[in-house]
Amino acid sequence: MKIELFDAVSRIEDLPEYHPGLAEIGKIELFDIVALTHDIPEHNLRRGEVGTVVEILSNGDAYEVEFSDRDGQTYECRGFRASQLMVLHHEPIQA
């Protein structure tokens, strides 16, 4: 599987068009806590690494995610497709 990142994209119109599949239905919201679903070795990010959605891009097909250390210092901020993220929940999900 090829993973594309959207570095240095300044306009939503510059993002490639992408339509999530049925398995990816479920809207990711601004400030959701998410985890990566794949390793991104070229940016030293690993599957399961946790970040916060800080921007919604391309009508919700992509998201800018900020990764911070325990002291709150940002160490990475990148754009990802919805399929590269999973929302973390702190309470039971209602059916």
What is the tens place of the pLDDT at every residue in 47-75?
999 999 999 998 888 999 999 999 999 99
3-state SS, residue 36: strand
Which CATH fold would you assign to the domain 27-87?
SH3 type barrels. (2.30.30)
Q: Model pTM greater than 0.75?
A: no
**Per-residue pLDDT tens digits for 10-41:** 665 665 554 444 334 468 999 999 999 999 99
Asked if 12 contacts 58 with a C-beta cutoff of 8 angstroms, the reply is yes
Domain ranges of the chain: 27-87
d(C-alpha 68, C-alpha 45), whole Å: 12
